[in-house]
């Protein structure tokens, strides 16, 4: 999905959030249970942007007009190089309703898990604030 890729590459996290469906399901490479909802997914993606260094998409796979897309990326967390893939599924309105991330190697996934764990309080706070703002 070109709009998602462009927003991520521009570090425009508001635009990324605008592409998410309200009921998006985010499946993390380092947590067993999926996260459900736009507020928590957007907060996680903001934390990922703080954690990843030298992030770049390498290529896209999929039909540009289809509903399933794969974006292969590389990044660094501390001294660990990571290769990964964002798998996106679009709903009937063109919003992302499923986002699954895979990363490798194991040492990179472990570095990512440790870095994201350090972000947990910020993620929870941002998700609460976003949820409260959408309720009011």
Above 70 in pLDDT, residue 76?
Answer: yes
Task: Give the global pTM.
Answer: 0.90
Percent of the chain predicted with pLDDT > 70:
98
Above 80 in pLDDT, residue 132?
Answer: no
Beta-strand pair 96-104/35-36: unpaired
| Confidence band, pLDDT 50/70/90 cuts, at residue 15 | very high
Q: 79 lies in which domain range? A: 2-135
Look-up of token digits 């991520």: 8
Above 90 in pLDDT, residue 93?
Answer: yes
Above 70 in pLDDT, residue 136?
Answer: no
Dihedral sign, CA of 13, 19, 22, 28? negative
Q: Would you state the pLDDT for residue 90?
A: 96
CA–CA separation, 27 and 46 (whole Å): 15
Above 80 in pLDDT, residue 1?
Answer: no
Q: Would you state the pLDDT for residue 63?
A: 86
Report which secondary-structure segment, H or E, holds 22.
Answer: strand 20-27
Above 80 in pLDDT, residue 95?
Answer: yes
CATH number at residue 84: 3.10.450.50
What pLDDT digit, counting tens, does each position of 29-58 carry?
988 899 999 999 999 999 999 999 999 999
- Count how many domains the chain has: 1
CA–CA separation, 48 and 113 (whole Å): 10
Q: Measured in whole angstroms, how far is the alpha carbon of residue 109 from the centre of its chain? A: 14
Other Cβ atoms less than 10 A from the Cβ of 116: the count is 20
């Amino acid at each position: 999905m070109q709009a998602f890729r462009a927003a991520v590459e521009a570090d425009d996290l508001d635009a990324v959030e605008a592409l998410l469906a309200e009921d998006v399901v985010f499946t993390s490479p380092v947590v067993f249970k999926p996260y459900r909802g736009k507020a928590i997914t957007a907060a996680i993606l903001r934390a990922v942007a703080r954690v990843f260094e030298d992030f770049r998409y390498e290529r896209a796979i999929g039909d540009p007009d289809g509903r399933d897309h794969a974006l292969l990326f590389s990044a660094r967390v501390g001294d660990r190089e990571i290769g990964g893939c964002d798998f996106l599924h679009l709903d009937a309105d063109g919003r992302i309703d499923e986002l699954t991330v895979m990363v490798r190697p194991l040492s990179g996934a472990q570095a990512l898990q440790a870095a994201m764990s350090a972000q947990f309080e910020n993620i929870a706070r941002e998700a609460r604030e976003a949820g409260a703002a959408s309720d009011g």
